[in-house]
Amino acid sequence: MIVNSLPGHVGIAIVGGGPVGALLAQRLAASGHDVMAIEARTGTPADPRALALSWASRDTLLEAGLWSDALAATPIEKVHVSQAGTLGRTELSAAELGLPVLGFTVPYEKLAALALERLKTGNVPLALGHTVTGLRQLDRYAQLQLAGPDGAAMLTAGLVILADGGKLVTQLGDIKQTVKPYDQHAILARITPSQPHRGMAYERFADDGPLALLPSGDDFMLIWTQTPEQAAERLAMSDEAFLSAVEARFAGRIGGFTRVGTRASWPLALKTLDSVVSRRVVLIGNAAQTLHPVAGQGLNLGLRDADTLASLLTATPHNRAGDAATLARYARLRRSDAGRVTFFTDSVIHLFESPNPVFKHLRSLGLLALDHVAPLRRGFARRMVYGAR
Ligand SMILES: Cc1cc2nc3c(=O)[nH]c(=O)nc-3n(C[C@H](O)[C@H](O)[C@H](O)COP(=O)(O)OP(=O)(O)OC[C@H]3O[C@@H](n4cnc5c(N)ncnc54)[C@H](O)[C@@H]3O)c2cc1C
């Protein structure tokens, strides 16, 4: 529900109406808390990402009214993981977990558009087109400076939830952010296979970096991780040369590709915080942790942040939402899942980047073990779908 004039004070301010902030706002709408959402953008961002969301994330979004046909979601039936130049490979399937599908891919643009639409039409007041430019913490509340269509404004809140993707954290003096650049870029491109993908996603660990192919409509969304120099070269290649290079990395496993769309490149870094809570502020989604996209876990994790915080706040008396005890409880509840998924994602990158033949052999054995030991494989797939709680 778009507000025309801002109040001076709210109980809870959610900064950011992306998928994570919108989920939290939707979940808190019926809680009776005095909530307001603040979103800088007024339209849909141009963003080529296609996101792999687990079956569990789909459920979470569906329950909050953030899933619809407008997302044009593509089911993922199986995930094929392999390492180039070795026998190591395994396949994760929905049937093994007793699920209809492992998950879905959705275009980020469509999810962001649906999130904004729900905020505009939902019960939570929305300061649309307002950017939070400053954040100060006082004893009993936090103070936000905003820039909006009518100029600058000030708002205080008993609790501020940052779901802004990670921009405002630098304003919190008591939280230390660690940024670890991977010295890698991801090339994103939509590519059309010559044969139907049948809901199969691929993760391929090639010698010069991992590639993921996510089924998206009739196409694949390619996410190809490589050094910045290689990325620059491959962005400049002809379409034919680019598609041949991708095909060569899969050594004939998929068949050919007929078309590649616009290619974009994305610098990659791991961003973590020493704490996801500050005095009257809590950080969720990418504001709390930004991961390498190799395992497709960033938004899945962020949605679990929002889900946990929504359940906690719904059960918390209104005057205690921003208390230190409430925020400390949230931090405790999220520590294990966030820590393990972050560690797993970062480890995959380092484990698969070493060219040492001994490591390559061990990786191959690891994939073969997953393939041959069903309980191990099921446990791994379950974690990818439900998180590491
Ligand atoms: C190449 C790539 C591929 C990925 N693939 C996957 C995948 O397959 N699966 C997966 O789970 N994750 C994936 N991710 C991660 C995923 O995109 C993010 O985890 C997710 O978008 C985070 O959502 P969010 O709502 O926290 O932040 P965002 O999506 O960044 O949304 C933040 C919102 O806050 C608003 N905002 C920002 N600053 C302000 C401000 N100061 N005032 C008001 N509003 C503000 C923005 O306009 C925006 O709407 C991928 C990431 C990349 C880069």
Per-residue pLDDT at 372: 75
Per-residue pLDDT at 313: 98
Rounded to whole angstroms, the Cα distance separating 112 from 107 reads 9
Mutation to probe ligand 1, out of 299, 348, 384 (largest number of atoms < 8 A from CB):
299
pTM here is 0.94
pLDDT band at 374 (very low <50, low <70, confident <90, very high): confident
Rounded to whole angstroms, the Cα distance separating 113 from 19 reads 9
The arrangement of secondary structure in 9-45+108-178+271-348, i.e. its CATH architecture, is 3-Layer(bba) Sandwich (3.50)
Average pLDDT over residues 353-375: 74
Per-residue pLDDT at 207: 85
Q: What is the mean pLDDT of the chain?
A: 92
- CA 242–ligand 1 middle distance (angstroms): 28
Amino acid of residue 369 = A
- CA 319–ligand 1 middle distance (angstroms): 30
Q: Look at residue 217 and tell me whether its pLDDT is greater than 90.
A: yes
Amino acid of residue 71 = L
Q: Which residues of 314-345 are buried (b: 16+ CB within 10 A; e: fewer)?
A: eebeeeebbeeebbeebeebbeebbeebbebb
- Can you tell me which residue has the tokens 């989920």? 23
C-beta separation of 114 from 66 below 8 A: yes
Phi, psi of 100 (to 5 degrees): -65, -40
Per-residue pLDDT at 196: 94
Taken as a whole, the chain contains a residue count of 389
Rounded to whole angstroms, the Cα distance separating 108 from 71 reads 9
CA 142 distance to own-chain centroid: 27
133: left (phi over 0), alpha (psi -120 to 50) or beta: alpha
Per-residue pLDDT at 27: 96
Residue 5: other Cβ atoms inside 10 A: 7
Per-residue pLDDT at 388: 66
The token pair that represents 140 in the structure block: 């009993």
Amino acid of residue 291 = L
Q: Whose CA is nearest to atom 14 of ligand 1?
A: 298
- Can you tell me which residue has the tokens 């490589």? 226
Give me the residues paired with residue 161 across strands.
14, 282
Pocket of ligand 1 (CB under 6 A): 15-21, 38-41, 49, 51-52, 108, 131-132, 163-165, 167-168, 186, 188, 223, 266, 285-286, 293, 296-300, 302
DSSP string, 192-222: EESS--TTEEEEEEETTEEEEEEEETTEEEE
292 CB-contact burial (10 Å; exposed 0-12 / middle 13-18 / buried 19+): buried
Question: Relative to the CA of 52, which ligand 1 atom is closest?
Answer: 8
C-beta separation of 135 from 172 below 8 A: yes
The percent of residues in the chain predicted with pLDDT above 70, rounded, is 99
Residues 268-282: pLDDT tens digits? 999 999 999 999 999
Residues 149-193: pLDDT tens digits? 999 999 999 999 999 999 999 999 999 999 999 989 999 999 999
Rounded to whole angstroms, the Cα distance separating 367 from 29 reads 45
Among 196, 159, 105, 151, smallest CA distance to 320 is for: 159
DSSP string, 178-191: EEEEEEEEEEEEEE
Q: Look at residue 214 and tell me whether its pLDDT is greater than 80.
A: yes
Domain ranges of the chain: 9-45+108-178+271-348, 64-107+182-268+351-386
- CA 199–ligand 1 middle distance (angstroms): 25
Residues 38-87: pLDDT tens digits? 999 999 888 999 999 999 999 999 999 999 999 999 999 999 988 877 77
CATH superfamily assigned to domain 64-107+182-268+351-386: D-Amino Acid Oxidase, subunit A, domain 2 (3.30.9.10)
Q: Cα dist. 74→214, 291, 382, 387 in Å?
A: 9, 23, 20, 21
Phi, psi of 114 (to 5 degrees): -65, -40
Rounded to whole angstroms, the Cα distance separating 112 from 208 reads 32
Question: Relative to the CA of 41, which ligand 1 atom is closest?
Answer: 47
Amino acid of residue 284 = I
Report CA Rg, the chain: 22
Q: Whose CA is nearest to atom 3 of ligand 1?
A: 293
C-beta separation of 39 from 325 below 8 A: no
C-beta separation of 88 from 335 below 8 A: no
Residues 123-144: pLDDT tens digits? 999 999 999 999 999 888 999 9
- CA 86–ligand 1 middle distance (angstroms): 35
Question: Relative to the CA of 22, which ligand 1 atom is closest?
Answer: 25
The token pair that represents 28 in the structure block: 């808190």
Give me the residues paired with residue 74 across strands.
105
Rounded to whole angstroms, the Cα distance separating 259 from 268 reads 26
